[in-house]
Amino acid sequence: MTAARPAPRTFFQRLTRYYSYFTLAFAAFLAALATLEKEGMPRVWIGYMFMFATIVLYASIGLVSRTSKVSEYYVAGRRVPALYNGMATAADWISAASFISLAGGLYLHGFDGLAYVMGWTGGYCLVALLIAPYLRKFGQYTIPDFLAARYGGARGGRAVRLCAVAATIVISFTYVVAQIYAVGLIASRFTGVDFSVGIFLGLASILVCSFLGGMRAITWTQVAQYIIILAAFLIPAMWLSAKHSGNPMPQVAYGKLLPQLSAREAALMADDKEAQVRAVFRQRADDYQRRLDGLPGTWDAGRVALQHHLDGVRLRNASLLEIRSAERALIAYPKNPDDAVAAWTALRDENLARARPITPHAAPFPGPTPEASDIKRNNFLALAFCMMLGTAALPHILMRSYTTPSVDETRRSVFWTLFFILLIYLTIPALAVLVKYDVYTALVGSDFAHLPTWVSYWANVDRANPLISIADVNGDGIVQLAEIVIDGDVLVLATPEIAGLPYVISGLVAAGGLAAALSTADGLLLAISNALSHDVYYRIVDPKASTQKRVTISKLILLGVAFVAAYSASTKPGDILSLVGAAFSLAASTLFPALVVGVFWRRANQYGALAGMATGFVVCQFYMLHTNPVLGGSAAAQWFHIAPISAGVFGVPAGLAALVVVSLLTPPPDAHSRAFVDHVRRPDEAAP
């Protein structure tokens, strides 16, 4: 009698073993670097080791997972277990905006920043309830695939497919530029390379992973990235929490700290020195207003005065430094009165913002008048609405619904995604309060002669537009709160240094930020390349293309899109949260009505879908261009005082109304489309 052979390990068990080994190895790596730092290893070497070790890790996973099979490249073979698909989707979802900028947004705007947290979390509930299970039941490869099948009927829906492809490209491209911008920011800070060089270093990691293995490589990389993201976010937050409250659970402890922060805010508001600094900014704002009122004469007088000053310092043989300073001032002066309007208006508004009293962190919708509070509340609700519906329509997130083995696994995967996102999102508001309390109590009131070294580090990352700056405006040698300017995009990255943690934790946070940006960038680039290669090339241009040719075309497109996105990011088109907000408004306006109505209303037809997508996009885009000063618009043109980042609040109802009205005014969909709706809404039937 022979002994019974042990049962072979399941795929899930093998994955659990691999990622357990990975977690242990990563912890050992951290411990080794901490030991080396204690022994005197230079900080820059720690930064290099973190950056390159993680990039090599992701590239290695991409190399091992390389494939040329269509189902593996597009949907990871549809065999990703729910738990690991949840981790991968969470990493895909926790972008640079969530990891790097959201805590910074809460630090700067207090309660109002919660609109992002509420909107993004609520949006994933919509994904679970309204879209994900039905997409998995459909069982193809892309979002345009789904919309073409739903609205195209027996004729294929070419127009709907092309419209959905265009929307996917615009949404994903806007979003991926923000991620690559974050990659450049992190790489330049922690390796010392130029910002543009940092962008292309990160891009190399993205390409090795997604180029070789598509969705298969991206999935297994994203699981590893989530583990790094979780450690990078929780460790500094737990340290700060223990430091200020004695409780290492930041999600619980920060409630206790809020009253202390409010008391500190009240003390600063009553401080005479603080009022003195804000009065200086008010005076500067008034000066710029006078210059604007006196144009074009003030522009000409200012230019002549600068030229006279330069001539004067040259004639009296002043120091080279003084001459260079006078030359730079003349070069930076507006070239004509039109340029002066834009430049001086921006400077006036900046000084006005710094002259305002402190905004209490915990106060909802604070404003000097009831009308101002109402405007803030309306913008809060509009932003949460756009983030929620935009989440439910992001192509790279919805694509992950196709990668599980069944509809049931997709539902379980959504649960795990929400759980893993929750671990981060419950910590973000706590981290913002902890860092703010630290800055308000430790940095404010300190001596200018003894500023911490992290201030100069971050100020030098971008000399033209410093991410952190502290200037002695009233000349008393003491740091006042109004003299500190911190960019929201660097708060999380600078947190370990602000908290006085070992530098190895700074490297860990940078690795977490890099993982968040790379994981989302991977998913977005794949969404764009799949839309072009599968939906345009294979479905329309060459339906007889071999599987090998389809995958090759997809890889080449991915390469081209990645370089264009990297170039766009190197021009620094805007801050991370603004770019991400624009992508969400566009997604909500263009794709959400067509997706949800397509699942739940059988009467919707392709004419309605085309009208809905086009109307939503045009209204949203028009509002952004018309009201955003950065894009050439004017804030005075806003409807109901709604900020341009929430343009989707107008685009969604416009798109929805167009879809319904045009569907009712045109012939009903054919039997094929109605049968399609019945099919995707029966979860008990087997999915492909």
pLDDT of 656 above 70: yes
Query: For the segment 171-203, what is each residue's pLDDT rounded down to a tens digit?
Result: 988 888 888 887 777 777 666 677 777 777 777
> Both tokens of residue 197?
């060089």
- In angstroms, how far apart are the furthest CA atoms of the chain? 107
- Separation CA 627–CA 633 (nearest Å): 5
Sequence-distant (≥ 6) Cβ neighbours of residue 613 within 8 angstroms = 163, 164, 167, 590, 591, 593, 594, 655
Considering the chain, what percentage of its residues have pLDDT values greater than 70?
95
Cα torsion angle, 95, 97, 102, 104, sign: positive
Strand extents, DSSP E, 462-606: 468-470, 484-486
pLDDT at 526: 82
| CA atoms lying within 13 Å on the CB side of residue 496 | 18
pLDDT at 2 > cutoff 60: no
Task: Give the pLDDT of residue 653.
Answer: 95
- Short-list 215, 187, 232, 189, CA closest to 566: 187
Provide the pLDDT for residue 464.
66
Q: What are the pLDDT digits (tens) for 346-358?
A: 889 889 988 988 8
What is the reported pLDDT for 306?
85
Residue 677 has pLDDT above 90, yes or no: no
Residue 361 pLDDT greater than 60, yes or no? yes
What pLDDT is stored for residue 594 in this prediction?
93
How many CB atoms neighbour CB 85 within 10 A?
27
Whole-structure pTM value: 0.83
Residue-level pLDDT at 685: 56
Mean pLDDT, the chain, rounded, equals 84
Percent composition of the chain: helix, strand, coil (DSSP 3-state, to 5)? 80, 0, 20
Q: Answer whether residue 555 shows pLDDT above 80.
A: no
**If you average pLDDT over residues 276-282, what whole number do you get?**
92
**Which of 251-260, 561-570, 604-613 is least confident?**
561-570
pLDDT tens-digit series, residues 21-35: 999 999 999 899 889
* Interval 389-435: pLDDT, tens: 998 888 888 888 888 888 888 888 888 998 998 888 888 899 999 98
- In the 3-class helix/strand/coil scheme, how is 372-401 assigned residue by residue? HHHHHHHHHHHHHHHHHHHHCCCHHHHHHH
Which pLDDT score, from 0 to 100, does residue 504 have?
Answer: 87
The whole-number pLDDT of residue 458 equals: 76
Using the predicted structure, report yes or no on whether residue 576 has a pLDDT greater than 80: no
- Residue 1's pLDDT is what? 44
